Amino acid sequence: MIGTDRDRTESDGAPPDSVRVDAFLASPNFGARANGRRPDSVVLHYTGMPTADGALAWLCNPTSEVSCHYFVFEDGRTVQLVREADRAWHAGRGAWQGETDMNSASIGVEIANPGHDGGCPPFPEAQVDGVIALLRDILDRRAIPARRVIAHSDMAPERKRDPGEGFPWRRLHEAGVAHWVEPAPVEDDAPWRPASEGAAVRGLQAQLALYGYTVAQSGILDRQTTLCVAAFQRRFRPARVDGLPDASTRDTLARLVATGVRGKATPDA
Ligand SMILES: [Zn+2]
């Protein structure tokens, strides 16, 4: 039985927005999208709690003031908590491609997984299949490009690590529901050190910003930049997540930007 830990509400059983959804279990934690905005992106999360049922109960608890649109269990079952037309409370402080109200701009998907605090267990195959099927439906219905499916850590690198470096972005890309490039192998070159400065650092910051990350073009490898590089690595070059721009990181970023900058038609968009 799904969601036995939570109280039933009268919206339970309403027709879901997505045909991929098994049930609608209404969360009270939502508001109106700013200016009636239509979502043009999707933010992926892990729940970061020991059990899926506990996480689902929390997302439906009015005192938590958090929610999401969709929740995907380990076995792939998916429930909807908030209507897509409404603004769920999943993204919080942060920005992507200059947009600071990501709750108004996006659809939030919570993926049941204990996360870093729970030892980063792998995402089961059935769950990844469920996420892919859900994303395919959302992107198709709303004409959202695959490159606008992002990690929570992408929009909030200083606060968030989810869905984590173990999340199979390659599989999502192969299914056509995420942007990704094959990461360059990690070499034993000396990465740039924190506080390095110069035109090359500024160039790296410009590429991160062009792709969508929020980073000042200071020309200095400052804390904001290393956190941003760590978020990039977590998502695109997960073999080593240390925030230091080694050759593999720089090469992977350059190829990523070349195939997926904003507003540019890309082969997989
Ligand atoms: Zn999150």
pLDDT category of residue 1 using cuts at 50, 70 and 90: very low
What is the count of structural domains for the chain?
2
Cα of 32 from ligand 1 centre, angstroms: 20
Q: Kindly list the distances between the CA atom of residue 23 and the CA atoms of 82, 185, 238, 258, in Å, as whole numbers in the listed order.
A: 11, 42, 34, 40
Asked whether residue 269 is domain-assigned, the answer is no
How many other CB atoms sit within 10 Å of the CB of residue 253? 25
Same domain for 122 and 50: yes
Asked whether residue 182 is domain-assigned, the answer is no
Same domain for 40 and 145: yes
Same domain for 135 and 33: yes
DSSP code at position 184? P
Q: Which two tokens stand for residue 71?
A: 């929740």
pLDDT category of residue 10 using cuts at 50, 70 and 90: low
Strand residues in 47-196 grouped as ranges (E):
70-72, 78-80, 86-88, 106-111, 149-151
Same domain for 204 and 170: no
Same domain for 36 and 161: yes
165 is catalytic: no
Asked whether residue 115 is domain-assigned, the answer is yes
Q: What is the pLDDT of residues 69-110, one digit of tens each?
A: 999 999 999 999 999 999 999 999 999 999 999 999 999 999
Cα of 263 from ligand 1 centre, angstroms: 26
Same domain for 215 and 91: no
Same domain for 35 and 139: yes
Q: What is the pLDDT of residue 162?
A: 98
Same domain for 62 and 143: yes
Strand residues in the chain grouped as ranges (E):
23-24, 30-32, 41-46, 70-72, 78-80, 86-88, 106-111, 149-151
Same domain for 216 and 87: no
Cα of 186 from ligand 1 centre, angstroms: 27
Mean pLDDT of the chain: 93
What is the mean predicted confidence (pLDDT) over 222-246? 98
pLDDT category of residue 265 using cuts at 50, 70 and 90: very low
Q: Is the pLDDT of residue 261 over 80?
A: no
Q: What is the pLDDT of residues 182-232, one digit of tens each?
A: 999 999 999 899 999 999 999 999 999 999 999 999 999 999 999 999 999
Which of 121, 141, 174 is where one domain is finished?
174
Q: Is the pLDDT of residue 2 over 90?
A: no
Lowest-pLDDT range of 23-27, 87-91, 238-242, 263-267: 263-267
Task: Read off the CATH number of the domain in which 251 is found.
Answer: 1.10.101.10
Cα of 137 from ligand 1 centre, angstroms: 21
Q: What is the pLDDT of residue 15?
A: 84
Same domain for 154 and 41: yes
Cα of 6 from ligand 1 centre, angstroms: 21
pLDDT category of residue 158 using cuts at 50, 70 and 90: very high
Q: Kindly list the distances between the CA atom of residue 220 and the CA atoms of 94, 106, 193, 211, in Å, as whole numbers in the listed order.
A: 21, 31, 10, 19
Of 10, 65, 74, 110, catalytic:
110
Helix axes 199-211, 247-260, angle to 10 degrees: 40
Are 153 and 161 spatial neighbours (Cβ–Cβ below 8 Å)? yes
Are 91 and 156 spatial neighbours (Cβ–Cβ below 8 Å)? yes
Asked whether residue 66 is domain-assigned, the answer is yes
Are 34 and 104 spatial neighbours (Cβ–Cβ below 8 Å)? yes
Cα of 160 from ligand 1 centre, angstroms: 7
Task: Read off the CATH number of the domain in which 159 is found.
Answer: 3.40.80.10
DSSP code at position 157? T
Same domain for 211 and 166: no
Same domain for 161 and 28: yes
Cα of 241 from ligand 1 centre, angstroms: 18
Domain carrying residue 135: 23-174
Count Cα atoms within 13 angstroms, Cβ side, for 36.
0
